[in-house]
Chain A
Amino acid sequence: MNVYGSNELARDVQQAGYCIGCGACVELCPYFRNHRGHTARLFACSLEQGRCHAHCPKTEVDLEELSSALYGEKYEGTPLGHYRSILAARATGKVAGPFQGGGTVSALATYALESKLIDAAILTGADGMRPVPQIVTDPDKVARCGSSRFTAAPTLSVMNQAVRQGMRRLGVVGTPCQMTAVAQMKQNPLGIEDFEDPVALTIGLFCNWALEHKQLAAYLANHLDLDSITGMDIPPPPAAVMVVKTHDTEHQFPLEEIRPLIPLSCFICPDMTSEWADVSVGMYEGRPGWNTLIVRSEAGAELVEGAVSNGWIETEAFPGDRLQELAKAALAKKERSFRNANRRGLLQEGENGARPAMKVPQEVLDRLLA
């Protein structure tokens, strides 16, 4: 990967409208800050290379490099990425709900803290409808973050904060873009000699798209009191609605009204299942109360084995027909996003040295876009 500085980052990502506000560049220096979902660069910096640029999941992401570093293999563009096993999973009663899905993420994160696999968990809670990143060290407080607001959150800003405070052995729960950023960080792209990988475990979430907090807030404010929001959900097709729960009632908003709020950034993201995480967790369509669990790395396998044997989660085999459906959806996102990014000239290096958002092996691209 080519690493540039904050000026290139500001130009290629923020100003070009591809910033998703994941927080990877925030809290590394005084210049990048996130306010209510919007990542701002306060002042220009004159350093030629910076971690802000190196970690950003929206510029100079070299998929081949990531694949070889994490899994020691070529990037093939398979629908679900590298994995060891795929399971159906759900939390046992050991961790208290209610959960958005099967509670698998909350159970895994709690177990990781309890068993000292990690010292702190980087999670995303919510204040009303606003996602609020948190550093959680108390296993009992993990489950409070167990719900989605479907808006991009600057979760990684608190990861950077934790690292600055000297914390290590972090567990990070995040979306595919955030997992990409962490995976890039793990490569120590600036080659600092005494660099120590602060992240011991990553739990990726499935994600098709996220919304911008301010835009969604502006939309919902026309229909309800934002402070009364207690939960949000997007039930599986064919529902085609976003459900917003408040203290006393439940509102349904057609997805066709929500979709225009999806930021540009999500349309160039090829990853639905957090391919660069140790484990990935998502909904299990058609089986409420259960999750899909993808085990990808050795650390991920250890985590899942420990969580099962210690009774935090239970697992079952994931049926082949569901797997096919999942792979189909993931592939569709991959193809769509590569196509979009390609059309915008964001793949590979441009003719006159233009910096790409992603680098994809040409044969993979040719195959997928054929």
Chain B
Amino acid sequence: MQTVRDGKAGDVRLMQGNEALARGALEAGVSVAAGYPGTPSSEIIENLAKAAKDSDLYVEFSTNEKVALEVAASGSFAELRSLAVMKQVGVNVAADFLLHLVLYGTRGGMVLASCEDPGGLSSTNEGDSRHYAKMMEFPLLEPGDFQEAKDMMRWAFELSEEIRNLVMVRSVTRLSHASGRVGLGNLPEKKERAHLNVEGPPIGQMEGPIGALPVTLNFMHGRQQGKMRKAAEIFEDSPYNTYTGPDNPELLIVTSSSAWLYCTEAVDLLNAGDRVGILKLGCTYPLPPKLVTKHLSTTDKVFIVEELLPFLEDNVKTLAAEMGAALGHKTFYGKKDGSLPSTGELNPDVVMGGLAKILDIEPDASLAKYSEELEQVVGQSVVARSLTFCAGCPHRASFWSLHNALELDGRYGFMCGDIGCYTMGISPAGFGTLKSVHAMGSGIGLASGFGQLGQFGLDRPVLAACGDSTFFHAAVPALINAVHHNAKLVMVVLDNSGTGMTGFQPHPGLTYDAMGKQATPVDVAKVCRAIGASVTISDPFDVKGTTDTLLDLLEQDSGVRVLILRQMCALSPEKKLKKMYEVAVDQSICLGEACGCNRLCTRVFKCPALIWDASAGKALVDEVLCAGCGVCASICPSGAITRKEVA
């Protein structure tokens, strides 16, 4: 199996952005890597885990991002190079420790890789964690392409050791999940040894106890700000800050990350290369003041192109104001004047739109038609389908029973959810069962609160849903809270034996870790019982049993009742392509259009493998798509869907 270890200096490989980032860390000699899965970040830890065996490397998927940052920091404190990996929302989870970490600083080079998702392609938000660099005072690097992803990751460890603080490397979906050519560098011959010196007075950077105290805080905060000044100096000469364009451009674009690529394309499409210069910054916080000032002085008009919030824009404007006496008045374009949107992803079209307006150019009309034509072509070859669970997904079965039990109970019970495949429980795919979706673990936290509102007349039954990975990640403290305060709720753990949504990364409930080594599984049921909740376990594929169990739990109407719905994800590596049942529709029994069920199977239950045979006017199972869970056989009122156990 090829891993990101393969290839020697000078080789050029086609690499996914996340592979390039992992390779960069390996080239830097990283020893400890920890993360929590989250799209688009997950492949970095996965690739390092695959390479771990041959690399003298410890890799784990931690319980959550804060723990991952702590585990990685332990490596740095022991003078090993270490990496923490997460998506944008993970940085929020880790932020509590992050503030403490960067105040004291690091020893071995330490990098926090944050892979973000402008436009929320696989997220329920589009958080922008660049702001942590400013808020908590640590350097921020933003690679603009695949080569830079590898090179800047490698360099980030050196920078971290030079200033003895954490460095954030920020990627976005279009970098992490796209692929490009990457020229490789050497992997170090290494056998690093941990070296932990925690003896001595508590102010040493490389020795003594680690962390700040009230009495040392002032000193350490000053030291941290000194590190930032040093980083800014280093950034002045960084090869990752580049300029292309005329010496005195009519308009200066200041950009970073993959927005740089959109700018290059937009300028090219508008034939504006002789009018526009592009200052691409790889080092975006702290800004290198001399470099930026130098370029600002070459023009009067500045267009700042970045995704999401005006982070770069605000910082450049602040710098321009500080240098106002020398620079004079500038006209800025960006988010604040509406040249670019502050939400969603950018692309060459959007940048070109802003640019054309500023430059007063009429874009080539044929370009505008391009996306229309593309949509037409795509629309002809791809069937429109709403977001839904996979064929054989246990969540569909779980939400079927949950929805039905809540309707049968008839007291307008409602369910609070959070992040995972089961987020779709809020949509028709999950029969609209979830009524709230926020951060991981927030379902049970909200339910804990709703479960206390009986005194204000909220007498609807309250339920919460979380996945098995989420249970460990963030649900446990909220569950403890609910039990301790006698909240009235049913918590449903949708246990599909893996971190399903991000691609089966292990979690503490499983018997193996990210590197494939044996791990000690932590039992969700035992944890819940120890906390003081009652626990029932049911197989969601047993629709009747699960519905009846839920009805009983709802009727108990007091205390915290945990229901674990346990059934492995249809896509899990252990289950994939193994059918429990051969499922088929007996069209001689199926009443089709004439059935009073009004197409319960294909209109309501809607497993992608259950399809409508338009020529026969009856239901049909697509044998290729069918995962063989057999659940549909228990919903057909005519018994027309048959299932035969696969030997």
Encode contact with B along A26-65: 1 for CB under 8 Å, 0 otherwise.
0011110101001011110111001100000000000000
Which residues from B are CB-within-8-Å of A46? 598, 603
Encode contact with A along B593-604: 1 for CB under 8 Å, 0 otherwise.
000111010011
Encode contact with A along B604-627: 1 for CB under 8 Å, 0 otherwise.
100000000000000000000000
Query: What range describes how many residues of A lie at the interface?
Result: 10 to 19
> Of the candidates A29, A31, A38, A50, which one forms a contact with B410 in the assembled complex, judged by CB atoms under 8 Å apart?
A38
| Contact A47–B408 (Cβ < 8 Å) | no
> Of the candidates B407, B431, B597, B598, which one forms a contact with A41 in the assembled complex, judged by CB atoms under 8 Å apart?
B407
Check B635 for interface membership: any CB of A closer than 8 A. yes
Which residues from B are CB-within-8-Å of A29? 596-598, 637
Which residues from B are CB-within-8-Å of A41? 407
> Of the candidates A28, A30, A51, which one forms a contact with B635 in the assembled complex, judged by CB atoms under 8 Å apart?
A30
> Of the candidates A42, A45, A51, which one forms a contact with B403 in the assembled complex, judged by CB atoms under 8 Å apart?
A42
Which residues from B are CB-within-8-Å of A30? 597, 600, 635, 637
A46–B404 Cα distance when bound, in Å, is 18
Check B196 for interface membership: any CB of A closer than 8 A. no
Chain A residue nearest to B605 (CB atoms) is: A43
Nearest-CB distance from A216 to chain B (Å)? Answer: 15
A46–B600 Cα distance when bound, in Å, is 11
Nearest-CB distance from A153 to chain B (Å)? Answer: 16
Chain B: how many interface residues by the 8 Å CB criterion? 16
Nearest-CB distance from A39 to chain B (Å)? Answer: 8
Check B56 for interface membership: any CB of A closer than 8 A. no
A82–B404 Cα distance when bound, in Å, is 42
Encode contact with A along B401-433: 1 for CB under 8 Å, 0 otherwise.
001100111100000000000000000000100
| Contact B408–A40 (Cβ < 8 Å) | yes
A269–B17 Cα distance when bound, in Å, is 71
A29–B600 Cα distance when bound, in Å, is 9
Chain B residue nearest to A39 (CB atoms) is: B410
A45–B596 Cα distance when bound, in Å, is 9
Which residues from A are CB-within-8-Å of B404? 33, 42
| Contact B407–A42 (Cβ < 8 Å) | yes
| Contact B596–A43 (Cβ < 8 Å) | no
A355–B559 Cα distance when bound, in Å, is 43
A30–B431 Cα distance when bound, in Å, is 15
Check B291 for interface membership: any CB of A closer than 8 A. no
> Of the candidates A35, A43, A45, which one forms a contact with B408 in the assembled complex, judged by CB atoms under 8 Å apart?
A35
Chain A residue nearest to B548 (CB atoms) is: A35
Which residues from B are CB-within-8-Å of A43? 431, 600, 604
A35–B405 Cα distance when bound, in Å, is 9
A51–B598 Cα distance when bound, in Å, is 13
Which residues from B are CB-within-8-Å of A33? 404, 407-408
Which residues from B are CB-within-8-Å of A35? 408-410, 551
Which residues from A are CB-within-8-Å of B431? 43
| Contact B408–A28 (Cβ < 8 Å) | no
A51–B637 Cα distance when bound, in Å, is 16
A41–B410 Cα distance when bound, in Å, is 10
B interface secondary structure, majority: helix
Nearest-CB distance from B339 to chain A (Å)? Answer: 46
Nearest-CB distance from A308 to chain B (Å)? Answer: 42
| Contact B596–A28 (Cβ < 8 Å) | yes
Encode contact with B along A1-42: 1 for CB under 8 Å, 0 otherwise.
000000000000000000000000000111101010010111
Which residues from B are CB-within-8-Å of A40? 407-408, 410
Chain A residue nearest to B601 (CB atoms) is: A30
A28–B596 Cα distance when bound, in Å, is 7
Which residues from A are CB-within-8-Å of B635? 30
| Contact A51–B407 (Cβ < 8 Å) | no
| Contact A50–B596 (Cβ < 8 Å) | yes
Which residues from A are CB-within-8-Å of B407? 33, 40-42
Nearest-CB distance from A18 to chain B (Å)? Answer: 15
Nearest-CB distance from A29 to chain B (Å)? Answer: 4
Which residues from A are CB-within-8-Å of B597? 29-31
Residues of A267-313 contacting chain B, CB below 8 A: none
A64–B348 Cα distance when bound, in Å, is 72
A175–B63 Cα distance when bound, in Å, is 59
A72–B637 Cα distance when bound, in Å, is 38
Which residues from B are CB-within-8-Å of A45? 598
Nearest-CB distance from A73 to chain B (Å)? Answer: 34
Which residues from B are CB-within-8-Å of A42? 403-404, 407-408
Residues of B512-536 contacting chain A, CB below 8 A: none
Encode contact with A along B347-380: 1 for CB under 8 Å, 0 otherwise.
0000000000000000000000000000000000
Which residues from A are CB-within-8-Å of B410? 35, 38, 40, 214
Which residues from A are CB-within-8-Å of B409? 35, 38
Nearest-CB distance from B583 to chain A (Å)? Answer: 18
A299–B190 Cα distance when bound, in Å, is 99
Which residues from B are CB-within-8-Å of A50? 596
Which residues from A are CB-within-8-Å of B408? 33, 35, 38, 40, 42
A40–B411 Cα distance when bound, in Å, is 10
A29–B635 Cα distance when bound, in Å, is 11
Chain B residue nearest to A19 (CB atoms) is: B410
Which residues from A are CB-within-8-Å of B551? 35
Chain B residue nearest to A45 (CB atoms) is: B598
A33–B635 Cα distance when bound, in Å, is 13
Which residues from B are CB-within-8-Å of A214? 410
Which residues from A are CB-within-8-Å of B637? 29-30
Give 15 new A-B contacts, CB below 8 A, not counting A38-B410, A41-B407, A50-B596. Answer: A29-B597, A29-B637, A30-B635, A31-B600, A35-B410, A38-B409, A40-B408, A40-B410, A42-B407, A42-B408, A43-B431, A43-B604, A46-B598, A47-B596, A51-B596
Task: Return the 7 tightest CB-CB contacts between A and B, nearest first.
Answer: A35-B408, A38-B410, A29-B596, A40-B407, A45-B598, A30-B637, A43-B604
A-B contact pairs, 15 of them (CB 8 A): A28-B596, A29-B596, A29-B598, A30-B597, A30-B637, A35-B408, A38-B409, A40-B410, A42-B404, A42-B408, A43-B600, A43-B604, A46-B598, A46-B603, A51-B596
